[in-house]
Amino acid sequence: MSEDAALTDWAPGERHCITCGDAASVMRVLELDHDTALCADLDDAAAAQRVAIDLVGAVAVGDELLVHAGVAIRALGGPA
């Protein structure tokens, strides 16, 4: 699935899905495993979870991802 297909249900500039209303979170990659990453929520550092990364291509520890329902839907790059 292409990145554009993964973002079909996202309104431009929004952090929630227009189909289900669920919010997306910006998360930072802490460690990588084959097709998942352990990520920390930037709004709540204590909230870490495994995230599927197969839709966003190559990512590195420290990169930020936009995550919806446990799936990274966009790589935002490293911290500014």
The gap from C-alpha 15 to its chain's centroid, in whole angstroms, comes to 11
Residue in this structure with the two tokens 């990453």, named with its chain if needed: 37
CATH number of the domain residue 20 falls in: 2.30.30.140
pTM beyond 0.75: the answer is no
- The angle subtended at Cα 43 by Cα 42 and Cα 45, nearest 5°, is 65
Q: Which domain does 60 fall in, by range?
A: 3-77
* 46/12: higher pLDDT: 46
pLDDT over 70 at 55, yes or no: yes
- When divided into structural domains, the chain yields a total of 1
- Region 30-47: mean pLDDT is 89
